[in-house]
Structures are given as C-alpha cells and as structure tokens.
A and B are shown apart, each in its own frame.
Chain A
Amino acid sequence: MPDTVLEVTALQRTFGTVRAVDEVSFALAQGGSLGIVGESGSGKTTTARIIVGLDRPDAGKVLLHGRDRTERARGRAQRLARARQIQMVFQDPYLSLDPRTSVQAALRETLRLHFPDIDHARRIAELLDQVGLGSWAADALPRRLSGGQRQRVAIARALAVEPAVMVLDEAVAALDVSVQAQVLNLLADIREQTGIGYLFITHDLGVVRCVTDDVVVMRHGRIVESGATAEVLAAPRHPYTRLLLDSVPRPGWDPRQIAAARRAL
C-alpha cells in the first residue's frame, strides 16, 4: 500500500443556503492520479479551490503528508511551503497567464521566489524542454502562443515549484481534441518521470479514463461513488454515474433515453 500524499476529510463549504461541498473525503496516493468528476454545480471546483488554498472550508481538513494546511498561511515561509505542496493548472490557458509577462519572465519570477540560488536560465530551459516547448518560446508573450502551448507554459510554471501534488482544474477542457491528446500524454510522461501526484478536476469521463487510477464522482456537493477508475467506469453502481457514462455521445446513442433517465433521477 503506497503512502498517502494528500488527504481530504469531511470538507464542508456553504454559500448562503447552498451546500457547495458536503462531507467530502478522499485520499490521493503518493504519485497517484485521482479524478474528481462532476457537472457544473457538483462542487468539484470549490473542492479544488479549498485544496489549493484559494478558499477555506467551513469544516473539515486538507492534509498533506499528514500536516494540516486548512488554516490561512502565516508569513512568507509558510506561504512558500504551502505553494511547494500543491500547485494548480487552470482551465483557461488564455486567462491564467499575465498578458504582459513573457514565458521566461513568468518562470523566472516563480524560480526567484522559491529557488533564489539556482541557475535560472538553465532551469527555465529544462522546464520548457520538459513540457515540450523549445527555447524559442522563452521570449514569447502569451498572446503569441496557441491554447495548447499556453497550457504547457502553465504546466511548466507549476512544475517549477516542484510540488508534491498538482491540481488540474479542467486543464484540457478548452483545448482541441488533437492538442488535448498531446497535453494528456505530456502529463502522463511527467508523472512517470517525477512521481508527482495529480488531482484531475473534470466533467469529461474520457479524460478520467485516460489519465487517472482512481475516481470520485460528485453531485450536488456530495460524493456519490468512488473507486478504481477501471472498475467504476466498467460497472458503475450509482445511477448517476451510469447516467454520466451513458451521456457520452457515440454511434447508436439515444439521447431521448438519457433525457428520460436524467429526469427520473
């Protein structure tokens, strides 16, 4: 049994009267890959924001290597330590980079903050190489890059911190199919090389099938099913998981039946 790197216990978050996240618990194994699947309003994004520290839960804990990181960070040292635990790649590659900052400057800024003493130019070259971008990209501004290239830059920037866990919030949802495949393969390569843990927040069961070991299915803020990805996708036990699976379009697909099933649920 591999060690647990990230553990979330009984998270709760309420916005007004809406329970956005309700008693959510799961664990991510060292070097593992966990998918959180759900539709809009399922609470998956709120869960992700709590885990990375952009939001705080009303109750429950986020533990990394057994240490609590739920409270607000105190001081610079703790802030940096938190950042080295968990990094995040956001959905929209067009908005998650500062439009005024070149690729190189963005990476250097992060390296200066976390590793002031290393050779930054060399590390930047290494990082760009690791995400499959040539040195040509170093001087480019985000608007000169395609969606896939920007997402690679965002991944490089997250890797620069050398985190234990990377949260990917719909990180490939905005990309075209052919580019999405490139980025998913890249992420799989990086996990093999570095042993980093992934938390994939997604609505796309195809992505889950491809890149996760375990999966958690969320609906209305609660976990309705969880288990090994292969098992959950092959033999879903909860009707909602089944509905999600059936909703994926394929030849011979009957949308009417799904619509009926959705109303029945």
Chain B
Amino acid sequence: MIRLALALLLLALPARAEEIVADLSQDRISISTNFDGSEILIFGAIKRDEPQPIGQQLAIIVTVAGPREDVTIRRKERKLGIWVNSDSVEALGVPSFYAVSSSVPLVQALRPEEDEEWAITTPRALVAPGMAQMSDDDPDFLDALIRVNTATGTYGTSEESVQVRDATLFSTEIALPADLTEGNYNTRIFLTRDGEVVDSYGTSIYVQKVGLERWIYTLAHEQPLIYGLLSLFIAIAAGWGASAVFRVFKT
C-alpha cells in the first residue's frame, strides 16, 4: 500500500509543473430590483513549463460556494396521528450555495482521499473542517440537507460541464439563482491528473445589493423604527389613494 502510494507520488511529481491561470466574466454581481439570477463564465488555461505528461487523465473541477450560514435540519415523525418535527440537527457554517462542475465524471476526476483533503464534492464541502460542524452520527440529516437543497437548486453537481480544449483551455458557466444571499462567493478551480490535485486556484465573486434594494435593506436594519413607520405610511397612503381614485371614478 505504502509502496503504491509512493509510486503514485513519484508519478504525480512531474505534473506539478502545471499551473492554472483563470478569470471570471465578472467578479461582482449587483442585485438590483429586476435581478433574476446570473450566469458566471469561468475560463482559463493550464500553463506548462514542459510538455504535458502522457497517459494521465486531465480534469478540471470548478466549485462555487456561497456565504456560510447556520441551518437547522428537522425531521418529521408521526406522533398521535399527525406529522410533527421531532429530531433536529443544527449545522453551523453550511454554504448557502454550492455548485460543482467538472470536465469528466467526478469518480474519474477525483480520488476520495483528495476529495477529503480539498473538500470538493458537496458532502465533503459540507463537513469540511472549519466549515460545517455536525455530529458524525447524523448522516441521514446530512443527506437530507443535500437532497432538499439540490431539489431547490441551491446545491448542484454537474459533471462534464467544463469544456477543455486541447488539454489547455477550459471554460464553464455557473448559473447563480435569483435568491442569492449577499456576500463573497468563493470560487475554486482544481486541476487533477489521474484524480490527484495538481494545482488549485481560488478567487471570489462579490454579490451585493445596489440602488433601491440596498437603500431599503440598510434602512430596515439600521433605522428599523423609521422603516416600520415608513412601511405603514406607504401602506396607508396607498390604501387611501386607491379609495380616493375609486371615489373619483364613481362620481
């Protein structure tokens, strides 16, 4: 086993000469009133000092992780004939969005040990040290978190969605949903050879509300009393206004 690992290490060594050079179509997303999701183009090239190694499968994996948040996962149970939330698990620091794209199926692109080290696939990214804190005996809850979030489009894995040309140029598009949380979206790009991570590149996309959205959000959080009164005022003004309009129509 050790011999095998050593052999693999030796094989992998020359490949370290490969490096990722990458960029994003935009590193800042503005959430305005008509924001309806966004597509981010992630593209780049593999820089080499020497000819590329022959016979080792090359793969590119791109991950985008949204700001972390604490969530509570609850399980329903039948009690006295009705379905109620019974057990719950709190997961701290779970990404609010997570997308993985790869150029080849992930089983080929990534060895489990490497996945564990770099926390790339969704289950790994969720329990990565320093990220989520969840008890080890709750795999059902972790599965549920991934299942529910995948169903809503919050988490996604799309294999073979990174295009690689001539083993050098690569590009992919990541769709960000409309219900984005504000904050930094960490983007990581991995280059693997035979499932081992050769190089990685990290950058981030900054998502921020702008204009009216920004103004309302800031006012609501910093001047809640004024915001509340303003909400009521607008509501009552609209109510009275519509009533007045109807009165005009009637006469």
Q: Decide whether A and B assemble into one complex.
A: no
A residues bordering B, Cβ < 8 Å? Answer: none
